[in-house]
Structure 1
Amino acid sequence: MIEFLSKKLVVFALCSLSLWSVMAQEKEAVPKLFQEFKSMQKTDERFHYFFSTRNRYIDNSAYDWQAMVNLYHNNSKKEYDSLSVTKYEIMQAQLFYDIGDFSKSVAIANNLYDNLEGLDLEEKRILLDLIDDNYAKLGLYDRQFEIRNEKKKLGISDKVVFYDIYASLGLHRKAMDDYIKDMLKTLGEDDYFGQAEYQNNVGTYLLLDMSTPTALTYYKKAEGFINVYLNDISRQKTEQEIIKGNLLKGVIEGNIGKCYARLKEFDLAIPFLENSIATIEEYNMGEFFKEYVVNTLELSDCHLQKEEYGKARELLLKVAALNSVDNIVRRNGLLAAYFDRTGDYKNSVDYLKRNVKIMDSLNKNESSMKKQQLAAVAGQEIEYSKKMMEEQKLDLEKSKSDLQAKDERIHIVFISLIFTLLGFAGLVYAYLKSIKNQRLIEDQKKIIEASLVEKDSLLKEIHHRVKNNLQMVSSLLSLQTKNTRSKAAIQALEEGKSRVKAMALIHQKLYQNDDLSVIEMQGYIESLINSVQSVYKKGGHSINITIDAEGVELDIDRAIPFGLILNELVSNSFKYAFPDEVKDDGNGKIYIHLNKNNEKGYFEYSDNGIGLPEDTDIRENSSMGIRLINRLVNQLQSTLNIDKTTEGVRFWFNFK
């Protein structure tokens, strides 16, 4: 992984070396921000100026700023000014990030992160955002979760989001669904800028997912909202808000142009791309903007497709400073196409070879890394969902206890008031006052009931998310099965997937239930049997299955072990108990009995198959399935009993 990241960083570093000199040459009439920074005397002034100046590299490159910050940092060390040293090190981390040396940036930032308690809230926010951005650039998406969780704990953000991470891992549809679910709750109808940004982001997820016509529809909506925002004279806007709005408009126009280009409508694409590039050039204020490069490359491609080779070449030479490996590969491919169409085959082959070298260095470990990252992120989201569910449970219990305490206080006040009024105003006045207080209590009860309904809805949503996450784990196991040749490994993965489905079904039943504390076992067992039968299609549906669990309800701590036990027993019956001739003639039988009376319960499972082999030693637990069943029965504080009969086998145990 380190080798892969180092190769990727070399490409980034090479393309970043020319970035800052290009920007300095393009804008010469802008005030000397670097000189103003040097003229400041206090570290706090320099720190706030550095991070509040978004176009700081307009007249001097990042390397000039880095040299000056290093000088200030060394002077602060000599003066033993630890607070100033910390601020300059945060600036150094940001400068390494801007240059493209993400490894050094995150190394400095992580060192400061170890002493996070010594920083003020603004410094913590800048540092954590920087670490988050570095991990995104380095492809360490699982590490981003830790940083985002820390930001939530500190109150810097109100939630931990995953959709941008899933988008980076290529799961654009899931990223879009999570983004829509989060953003729709916060958008106001009159927030035209927010609506434009939302529609544009949804369109981008769809474009990445190759749904170009649908993406174009969202981009058109975004264009409408941003035009309303910019033309709304009833609402005053600051200069920064106007710049921000126009930049978003330029991005949206570029996205519309890219959609038309993918649809091969180049005459429609070119005006939108040209307007986008012009808008970003006008309002970008010297800061490097990735959409500018992407749109310029797309416009060059359009001219190539229209055989306007001179315009295409001019645009390709214009974007000498690239900010990502994807842009380098795209530009090399376009230059190869240009030289091929103009007859310069030597240069065409040269640029194609460059792309081959880049892709070889990137693709070597990228696929396996993405799988590892996806599994890690999915696991973290499951853990986060479980933690949220526990927090919701604790909040619900606390709310109930608070409400009980409040009821007790109300009753005490009510009784005291009655006695006070009896002493001062007599029985009639006390009676009227009690009626008024009773109405107040009823209103409080309604509020409590509404709160409980809301908590139940949240718990159902959590169970729904846990079920979805377990289904994702099942999908990952299916994906691994397709890439595995060993029959034993495939069988183990399929068994694991079946067990995950059994647990997912528990959470599905919970969020579908009105009562979130228990599961009705008759329906659950029927659903579980159907799930197992769908796996063992050959002969599985010709076996007669009798389920006797009507009226039995179990909590989730008992239902999950029962589901896994039953999943093992039924799977074993389908796989081993019935020969093909028994499956075909319909004489195979399975009997499942579950009974619970007050504190005592009884479970029995039997089939009339060929039974266990004579040499099976149950105590040694030679079977993986029986070992698992024994552990699950022990979890229920009971002991598994197995009877070998002439007609199959019988498993049974008592439980509390």
Structure 2
Amino acid sequence: MKKQLGKILTFLFIFASSLNLVFAQDDLPTDQSYFQEFQGTKSAEERFKFFFNTPNRYNQNSGFDWLDEVNVYLNNSEKLKDSIAINYYKLVQAQIFHDIGDYDKSLAIEKELYKEKESWSLETKSTLLDLMDKTYSQLELYSEQIDIRKEKKALGITENVAFYDIYSNLGLHRKAMDDYILEEQKNVDDNDYLGKAIFDNNVGNYLRLDRSYPTALTYYNKASGFVKIFLSDVTKVKSEKTLNESETLRGIIEGNIGKCFVLLKQFEEAIPHLENSIATIKEFNKDKFSSDLVENRLAIAECYLQLGDFEKTTDFLSDGPQPQKLENITKKNRLLASYYDKTGDYRNEAVYLKKNIRIRDSISANKTEIRDKQRATLISEDKAYTKLRIQEQKEALAKSKNEMVLQENRIQMVFISLIFTLLGFAGLVYAYLKSIKNQRLIAEQKHIIENSLVEKDSLLKEIHHRVKNNLQMVSSLLSLQTKNTRSKAAIEALEEGKSRVKAMALIHQKLYQNDDLSVIEMQGYIESLINSVQSVYKKGGHNINITIDAEGVELDIDRAIPFGLILNELVSNSFKYAFPKNDDDGKIYIHLRKIAEQEGFFEYTDNGVGLPEDTDDRANSSMGIRLMNRLVNQLQSNLNIDKTSDGVRFWFNFK
């Protein structure tokens, strides 16, 4: 009853919050000219602080107006050779270029200021480093971004060096989400509704980018509820900057909900969310370049395109800020090409399709190589930082231990002075304190070890996932080569190679899908392998009765890979040669069992046409048989072949 009552009260509070939010908008300033206040400020330092403490500074004047005014102050300061004022105005100038989306100019100024920062106050350094962090992220210069974050930690600006947003930018969205939840969830207080909104929105972003759209939508709805509660809570005093950032966040969350509906093909439901988001971001993030605004306009254009409203489609594609990110540029070109296709203007359709092809051809190979290097650098930095954190934790434990020892020594000195009267009681207290100390140290060490094991499991799964993906890429390349090859023998060889690659890829897929990364359950693996081989040899493979007896057998990867390749060869040979005329009565029997702790037995039979008379002579020239013999040797055994009256039998014991 108490839980149900709590849920009802929470629902009523959220409902009331959404009503109060409408009236709360009237309290926000809309006609105040921050530009005039900036002009009326006297010193460079005061202008600097006013600019960075005013979130909605472009409410009446554009960023270009501000840039012109700052240039005037900068020129005057340069004439007076006022180095302090010059640095302040250049930092303001860099922020304006960042706000209007000219990240290259912003970075050029930031690098110039970076050389002069040593004599600055910590607050001014923090402003510069935060701006460089965001600019490097926009320009996808992640190695430099990592260096900036390490410097911020060294200066005490931040407590930790976080990598999850960079992981996500490099395409590792699930890894980013897992790290983000592990590091940040413990820092969000139950009463911190704004912090909860930010947390749930970020988790939703990682899930949406990882294509888990329904789950992402759930997190976005939770984030929307929390930010509305925060904005309507009149008991807490909020600064104008906090209110502006919260309203902007509300608009971003609304847009993310709309984008989820677009990805779920629910275009009519998406439109009102996207329209509200665009209006909110424009109001509270006025005249600043916003990737969210660009993405929302592209998303709503896609909605109207799918619903057949071409006039509104062109309105959203032609107006508004131009996309800066490559994925947004290519998406806009794709939407324009689709629009011209639907309206019958095939010449313009071809123009935009060619634009995307040129973009893809010019950067795909180079960008893939750069991304791989960036991922390698990030993983290396992440490992180094993890080791550093473990070392810091060890030092903290050692310091705590020393402090406890000192404390114990002081207690012992007190006990010595009272030894004649409190000797027995002192012994009990000492033993109790010693026990508490040991339990605390054990608990802390256990926590460190558990975190390390979780991280290692995650890295191992990621490695197996990447190996599987790389093997799938090899299989795809073999498929492409098959299409461009006319020789029947070459095609068969390529198909055999592709089948072997798939068998190995399946091993790594099973490993990263398992909770236990050390062994593979062979019954499921063999069934998956048979299905893969059947998909290649559809000529009659589906009519053959296949019996698999491997229930409860588990093998490690060193034995599973050669075993999988052997089985792939045997099944492929049966499909190709064993049943040339009619396979309705075809039977294959696969038997695998463990005899002892480290020993096992494998048997494979079919009732096909059997082996030819010159099998022994062919064994030296047949790649399949030679390959199986070598693989069996890896299992420290010998391959046995029995020719029967109605088929063939392969068997061997293995260690």
TM-score of the aligned structures, taking structure 2 as reference length: 0.65
Range 315-324 or range 536-545, more displaced: 536-545
CA–CA separation in structure 2 for the residues paired with 1:171 and 1:541: 39
Alignment of 1:36-51 (within 5 A): 36-51=37-52
Alignment of 1:48-63 (within 5 A): 48-63=49-64
Letter in 1 for 2:558: V
CA contact (8 A) 1:389 1:462 kept: no
Alignment of 1:536-575 (within 5 A): 536-537=562-563, 575=634
In structure 2, the CA distance between the partners of 1:102 and 1:226, relative to structure 1 (3 Å rule), is closer
Alignment of 1:76-155 (within 5 A): 76-155=77-156
CA–CA separation in structure 1 for the residues paired with 2:557 and 2:354: 52
1:450 corresponds to 2:440? yes
1:532 corresponds to 2:558? yes
Alignment of 1:362-511 (within 5 A): 362-418=363-419, 430-431=421-422, 435=425, 438-439=428-429, 442-443=432-433, 445-447=435-437, 449-469=439-459, 472-473=462-463, 476=466
Letter in 1 for 2:294: V
CA contact (8 A) 1:378 1:469 kept: no
The residue number in structure 1 matching 2:168 is: 167
CA shift digits 1:625-646 (9 cap, x unpaired): xxxxxxxxxxxxxxxxxxxxxx
CA shift digits 1:481-520 (9 cap, x unpaired): 6667999xx99xx9xx99xx9xxx9x99xxxxxxxxxxxx
CA contact (8 A) 2:637 2:652 kept: no
Deviation at 1:478, TM superposition (A): 6.0
The residue number in structure 2 matching 1:554 is: none
**Local SS of the residue matching 2:187:** coil
Deviation at 1:135, TM superposition (A): 1.8
CA shift digits 1:233-276 (9 cap, x unpaired): 44454444444333333222222222222222222222222232
CA–CA separation in structure 2 for the residues paired with 1:537 and 1:116: 62
Letter in 2 for 1:404: V
Percentage of matched positions with identical amino acids: 38
Alignment of 1:619-634 (within 5 A): none
CA–CA separation in structure 2 for the residues paired with 1:371 and 1:114: 30
CA contact (8 A) 2:164 2:179 kept: yes
CA shift digits 1:29-48 (9 cap, x unpaired): 95544444344331211211
In structure 2, the CA distance between the partners of 1:197 and 1:207, relative to structure 1 (3 Å rule), is same
Deviation at 1:129, TM superposition (A): 1.3
Alignment RMSD (CA, Å): 4.1
Deviation at 1:308, TM superposition (A): 1.9
CA–CA separation in structure 2 for the residues paired with 1:530 and 1:325: 43
Letter in 2 for 1:149: K
CA–CA separation in structure 2 for the residues paired with 1:30 and 1:241: 19
Deviation at 1:576, TM superposition (A): 9.8
CA contact (8 A) 1:58 1:287 kept: no
Deviation at 1:415, TM superposition (A): 1.0
CA–CA separation in structure 1 for the residues paired with 2:90 and 2:135: 16
Deviation at 1:319, TM superposition (A): 2.0
CA contact (8 A) 1:277 1:295 kept: yes
CA–CA separation in structure 1 for the residues paired with 2:300 and 2:418: 80
Letter in 2 for 1:382: K
CA contact (8 A) 2:257 2:270 kept: yes
Structure 2, gaps ≥5 residues long? 1-29, 479-496, 519-553, 567-591, 600-629, 642-649
CA contact (8 A) 1:542 1:584 kept: no
Deviation at 1:183, TM superposition (A): 2.4
CA–CA separation in structure 1 for the residues paired with 2:406 and 2:350: 80
CA–CA separation in structure 1 for the residues paired with 2:189 and 2:316: 40
Range 349-358 or range 154-163, more displaced: 349-358
CA–CA separation in structure 2 for the residues paired with 1:78 and 1:543: 90
CA–CA separation in structure 1 for the residues paired with 2:631 and 2:302: 60
CA–CA separation in structure 2 for the residues paired with 1:482 and 1:353: 28
CA shift digits 1:541-582 (9 cap, x unpaired): 9999989xxxxxxxxxxxxxxxxxxxxxxx999649766569
The residue number in structure 1 matching 2:190 is: 189
CA–CA separation in structure 1 for the residues paired with 2:163 and 2:257: 26
Range 266-275 or range 170-179, more displaced: 266-275
In structure 2, the CA distance between the partners of 1:93 and 1:267, relative to structure 1 (3 Å rule), is closer
- How many corresponding residue pairs? 496
Range 68-77 or range 85-94, more displaced: 68-77
CA shift digits 1:278-310 (9 cap, x unpaired): 333343344443333322322222222222222
Letter in 1 for 2:379: A
In structure 2, the CA distance between the partners of 1:299 and 1:474, relative to structure 1 (3 Å rule), is closer
CA contact (8 A) 2:90 2:109 kept: yes
The residue number in structure 1 matching 2:280 is: 279
Deviation at 1:219, TM superposition (A): 2.1
CA contact (8 A) 1:270 1:299 kept: yes
CA–CA separation in structure 2 for the residues paired with 1:286 and 1:98: 8
CA–CA separation in structure 1 for the residues paired with 2:652 and 2:214: 54
CA contact (8 A) 2:100 2:288 kept: no
CA shift digits 1:610-635 (9 cap, x unpaired): xxxxxxxxxxxxxxxxxxxxxxxxxx
Letter in 2 for 1:442: Y
CA contact (8 A) 1:385 1:465 kept: no
Letter in 1 for 2:307: K
**Local SS of the residue matching 1:178:** helix
In structure 2, the CA distance between the partners of 1:35 and 1:242, relative to structure 1 (3 Å rule), is closer
Deviation at 1:338, TM superposition (A): 2.9
